[in-house]
Amino acid sequence: MADHAQPAIDVPALTALLDGKYAEIREMTRKNLSEYAEVLDEAIELPTAEFRERVLELVREMARSGATGLGFPTEYGGGGDIGASVAGFETMAFGDLSILVKVGVQFGLFGGAILQLGSKHHHDAYIADLVTGDLMGCFAMTETGHGSNVQALGTYATYDVEAQEFVITTPDDRSRKDYIGNAAAHARMAVVFAQLEIGGSSEGVHEFVVPIRDEDGNTLDGVRIEDDGAKIGLNGVDNGRLWFDGVRVPRVNMLNRYADVSEDGTYSSAIENVDRRFFTMLGTLIQGRVCVGGAGISASKVALAVAVKYANKRRQFGAPHSDEEVLLLDYGMHQRRLLPLLAKTYALHFSQEILVNELHNVLSTTEAPDRQRRALESRAAGTKALSTWHATRTIQECREACGGAGYLMANRLGALRADTDVFTTFEGDNHILLQLVAKGLLTDYSSSFGDLDQLGMVRFVANLAVETVVERTSAHKLLERIRDVLPGGTEDRWDQEAGLLDPEYQLAMFRWREQHILSGVARRLKRGMDQGLDAVAVFSNVQDHVIAAGRAHVERLVLEAFVEKTAMMADGDNKVALNQLCDLYALSTIEADRGWFMEHGRLSSTRSKAISREVSSLCRALRPIAEDLVDAFGIPREMLRAEMLDDPGTV
């Protein structure tokens, strides 16, 4: 067990490091948040209908200030900077999350669909108005019976060549649009995902701009709207259901960047493969996933700031020969509960930073290579899954760590927990997203295999040689590199001699695990098909390994991001502290999966116990600077909304 240095944190410098190149936009957003801090009270106190109006008002106010349009082209009043828009969104996630999600719906989903799926006609027609918030819209993709399986949507749009119109129809209740933000009250327009039908044949899912309300807010003919009603959280967002009964829109209302229908009903697309076309259109979801993942990280920061500050003030049970009781944060178990979550939050932050840069680069060029785009999609999907599960777990642990005080809505944790709960579900169910990650790895982002269907993956992989799959994973190359960098140069010696705090050792463990699970999945898929089982059974039996592979991949990316970031820091106490945090992330992740590592001969029982001791030791080392580490997130004090921190009764 190493003796750890006791660094002193330079908080402003650490904040600057975390803020990165978008420090200015983050700082501006913090100021905005503080200005309407009372909305956190209103979220608890106002009746739903009133709170929805209040949220709308604030969204429009922010829109007028320019804060929400950063990702749109400057010619339509936007800021022309996608990276900045995501950074602003992440920071906004320190505040009320109904506002955040309404912003996401209006500018990310609705606006993003117009921008990325539409052509100049649509941009000219809608973007300037939606950027100001004058034109509110919704993103009508999900259907009640078709959540994750978007390709199976039931809503259809038939082309009427006489009228040169599309006719939008909801055939049954399974195909009603559902959980659609902005639909229940505020949207005047919807981007509707529907099966395009021309002359009796289907061309797959396409998108149409469909007006649903007039300027006075009256529902238009043929449209039926129902309120989704109360939700666990996010009650400032008006989610609703939509049915279309032969609703007609002009031909030009089809968003035609990737496919078009001519006046005479001829279908054309530059992307010939139907699955690839579908997946390209769905690529518009990337930005939403990046944003939701970032919001999950921000929510975790808020919860940890509350719980760490509380634990550094609150005392319970006595120290011997002392009138004062012991601070919660001086208890080993309390450190164990909070500090590995803090380390992971930092790790995810730096991984998210890379993701946002990559998103900015890909979306800022007209034609990024397919492969780069898919790698981005995969990383966005995987980071979203890990970050939002992390948020759910972290906020819950923080709530429990604050005891009864944490259960009162006067403190932020309850609202945070309720509002973020759906993050693991929306913008892609987390399990489905990790399957998507694994599929990308198994198929090397193959262009002949673009859809979300797992069974196609089973057959695809089963037709490859196992070696091909292993070859295709990027991890296998790393195995050789590991042999070079580790002392002794043989796998046997990893386990016995290399230092636990050596990032190369930690990375080797993460990489080896990813590679091993992935090739195991390939072998199992092949074996299952060779045994003559049907693809459903084969996939079902291997599904938990598929998901484990996706998770191991993303965890490796996250560790790499953290290691790279600390390596680039100038020497000094902040670097020492971040290295300790990085070690804690790496070792607590290995500890959590130590059963797997031991099963696969990568960890001896002696070394496994040493890792647990080291995790506890790192927690003790980080304890004195824990509050500085949460202060560095730069969360405005009002956003913590933690009555208990100032209450002479509590602390």
Q: Which of residues 47-66 bind a second copy (CB under 8 A)?
A: 47
| 232 interacts with a second copy by CB under 8 A | yes
- Read off the DSSP letter of residue 499: -
Helices (H), 36-168: 39-45, 48-64, 82-92, 97-103, 111-117, 120-122, 128-132
CB distance 52 to 227 below 8 Å:
no
Binding mask 98-137 vs a second copy (x if CB under 8 A, - otherwise)? Answer: ----------------------------------------
| 542 interacts with a second copy by CB under 8 A | yes
Q: How far is CA 625 from CA 254, 309, 325, 332, in A?
A: 55, 11, 21, 15
Q: How far is the CB of 203 from a second copy (least distance, A)?
A: 19
Rg of the chain taking only CA atoms, in angstroms: 26
| Residue selected from 162, 324, 367, 404 as contacting a second copy according to rule CB under 8 A | 404
| Residue selected from 174, 248, 524, 527 as contacting a second copy according to rule CB under 8 A | 174
Closest CA to 92 of 51, 114, 59: 59
- CA angle 67/71/77 to nearest 5° reads 70
Q: 330 or 370, CB closer to a second copy?
A: 330
Closest CA to 164 of 269, 266, 268: 266
CB distance 394 to 630 below 8 Å:
no
| Residue selected from 471, 492, 599, 646 as contacting a second copy according to rule CB under 8 A | 599
CB distance 513 to 602 below 8 Å:
yes
| 230 interacts with a second copy by CB under 8 A | yes
What amino acid occupies position 323? Answer: D
Q: How far is the CB of 132 from a second copy (least distance, A)?
A: 30
Contact window for a second copy (CB under 8 A) among 148-156, 187-195, 198-206, 511-519? 148-156
| 165 interacts with a second copy by CB under 8 A | no
| Residue selected from 303, 355, 418, 464 as contacting a second copy according to rule CB under 8 A | 418
Distance, in Å, from the CA atom of 570 to the CA atom of 533, rounded to the nearest integer, reads: 56
Contact window for a second copy (CB under 8 A) among 367-375, 484-492, 564-572, 591-599? 591-599
| 600 interacts with a second copy by CB under 8 A | yes
User: How many of the other CB atoms lie within 10 Å of CB of 606?
Assistant: 10
| Pair of tokens at residue 313 | 């003030």
3-state SS class at 470: helix
CB distance 160 to 166 below 8 Å:
yes
| 541 interacts with a second copy by CB under 8 A | yes
CB distance 166 to 254 below 8 Å:
yes
Distance, in Å, from the CA atom of 352 to the CA atom of 360, rounded to the nearest integer, reads: 12
| Residue selected from 429, 444, 495, 504 as contacting a second copy according to rule CB under 8 A | 429
| Residue selected from 224, 609, 637, 646 as contacting a second copy according to rule CB under 8 A | 609
Contact window for a second copy (CB under 8 A) among 53-61, 125-133, 475-483, 600-608? 600-608
| 250 interacts with a second copy by CB under 8 A | no
Question: Contacts with a second copy in 298-357 (CB under 8 A)?
Answer: 316-320, 325-326, 330-333, 336
Question: Contacts with a second copy in 176-195 (CB under 8 A)?
Answer: 176, 178-179
| Residue selected from 20, 73, 77, 147 as contacting a second copy according to rule CB under 8 A | 147
Q: What is the phi/psi pair of residue 322, to 5°? A: -145, 145
Closest CA to 313 of 337, 330, 338: 330
Binding-site residue total for a second copy (CB under 8 A)?
Answer: 87
| Residue selected from 35, 228, 260, 491 as contacting a second copy according to rule CB under 8 A | 228
Q: How far is the CB of 178 from a second copy (least distance, A)?
A: 7
| Residue selected from 105, 113, 259, 422 as contacting a second copy according to rule CB under 8 A | 422
Contact window for a second copy (CB under 8 A) among 280-288, 302-310, 475-483, 529-537? 529-537
Closest CA to 385 of 554, 523, 519, 250: 554
| 543 interacts with a second copy by CB under 8 A | yes
CB distance 151 to 160 below 8 Å:
no
Question: Contacts with a second copy in 439-468 (CB under 8 A)?
Answer: 452-455
CB distance 18 to 356 below 8 Å:
no
Q: How far is the CB of 591 from a second copy (least distance, A)?
A: 8
| 6 interacts with a second copy by CB under 8 A | no
Contact window for a second copy (CB under 8 A) among 2-10, 129-137, 282-290, 393-401? 393-401
